[in-house]
Amino acid sequence: MKANNLLAIAALLLGSAPVLASDYQLGAPTYANGKETTYYPGGQVKAVVAVSGNKHHRDGEALAYYPDGKLLSKGQYRKNKPFGPYTQYFENGKVRLSASYDKKGKMAGPVEEYYDNGQLKMATTYDNGHARSTKEVHYYPSGEVLSRLERNSHGRKTGMRVDYFKNGKVSQEIPYKSSSREGTRKIYNDQGQLITKVEYKKDKPLYAVIYQDGKEVKKITDAKGLHPYLLKD
């Protein structure tokens, strides 16, 4: 799962309840001994959350499980809002996502996503439920840096995103303004040689220039030829 997809899931599900919140919505919950329990269609326990009061407000430990009973995630609630550390796991038991929530129930502080081999995949910082003026780094499963980018105070990509080959050489540089590509994108081969330049305005490619051995060999201006550069990776 891509980093941005996993974080979107975390933000969506944990915005009003821990990441396991979607699990809670399947089937009618049962209440006993100060706990709310929901189940998979097959009857396996899906999630268990501590509750308090006649209205069963979530308050305390929250656990979610895979159908085979392995731990999927764990977090905490305070006054019916997620609070404190939240951890999501792969079925092999390794950490998939690590995050924290403030007293308002919003994601805040360091957020880290991992591959199933335990290698860090992505690291960023959240404030009030959004990435805030922060540098974001993505990694290959083997540990090398895959890409670096920055986000502004609204969580939008800004400045230059830089992607890398496993050998450490730059694979491409993409200028962003409020999450739209703006300016000259440069694409390189794994030897560090420039092979393509693409000029963007408001996220749309205006033209592309192809290079070979450092020399311009082709300029693309037609819509069909520019289509591959219109797609976002």
Instruction: Return the CATH number at 32.
Output: 3.90.930
Residues 4, 80, single domain; the answer is: yes
- Predicted pLDDT at 151: 85
Residues 105, 26, single domain; the answer is: yes
95-103 own/partner pairs: CB under 8 Å, 24+ apart? 96/6, 97/6, 97/7, 97/10, 97/19, 99/10, 99/14, 99/126, 101/14, 101/18, 101/75, 102/128, 103/78
Residues 21, 84, single domain; the answer is: yes
Residues 61, 125, single domain; the answer is: yes
> How does pLDDT run across 156-190, given as a tens digit for each residue?
899 999 999 999 999 999 999 999 999 999 999 99
H helix or E strand, kind and range, residue 22:
helix 21-24
Residues 121, 212, single domain; the answer is: no
- Predicted pLDDT at 100: 94
> How does pLDDT run across 113-150, given as a tens digit for each residue?
999 999 999 888 888 877 765 788 999 999 999 999 99
What confidence category does residue 2 fall into, taking pLDDT thresholds of 50, 70 and 90?
Answer: very low
